[in-house]
Amino acid sequence: HTIVRRDIWEGFVVAEGAGPNPSKRDRDADGAGPSKSGVDSRANGRLACYEGTVGFRCRWCKDVEPGRRAEKSAVYPRELKRIYHANIRFQRDHIPKCKFIPQEIKDRFMYLKNNQQGMSRGRKQYWVTSAEMKGLCDGEEGIVVRRPPGAAGK
């Protein structure tokens, strides 16, 4: 999992004003949205239901038109304990199909993935603990960045 965290996946906060605000129930449990490739949730204005929450995306295709990205280019787990599953889905559905990840990184990922002793996705609790150490916590609408004590804001 180190190669994914270090070289491929990045966390981000969904900006306010991302589009119309559809029902939050449209999200699946891991916040990955529909599984089809091509037109994704951003293209449909569905990203707005994640405003202010933390998502995780491929750093290599984040600036590419949504229709040109492989599926699961970004995931929006609703709870810290779901980051592990979102990561597994991202590794399975996005990395092998992404045309924008440099081939040497993809080759290294596939080598480690196919070598039983070469790669671990980490224990589920590792992902929770790591996220908490980076200042993330569960919020009402999804994962959020923890505000320092006494910080002003919504």
Q: Are strands 143-145 and 74-75 parallel, antiparallel or unpaired?
A: unpaired
Residues in the chain: 154
Checking if the pLDDT of 136 tops 50, the result is: yes
pLDDT at 22: 39
Residue 86 CA to residue 72 CA, distance in Å, equals 9
Identify the band that residue 138 occupies on the pLDDT scale cut at 50, 70 and 90. Answer: very high
Phi (first) and psi of residue 135, to 5 degrees:
90, 15
Collapsing DSSP states into helix, strand and coil, what is residue 83?
helix
Amino acid at 112: L
Q: What percent of the chain has pLDDT over 90?
A: 48
Render the burial of 101-116: b for 16+ CB within 10 Å, e for the rest: beeebbeebeebbeee
Residues 127-141 have a mean pLDDT of 92
pLDDT confidence tier of residue 69, bands split at 50, 70 and 90: very high
pLDDT tens-digit series, residues 5-61: 889 999 999 987 654 443 443 444 445 544 333 344 444 466 777 888 999 999 999
CB of 108 closer than 8 Å to CB of 101: no
Helix (H, G, I), strand (E, B) or coil at 74: strand
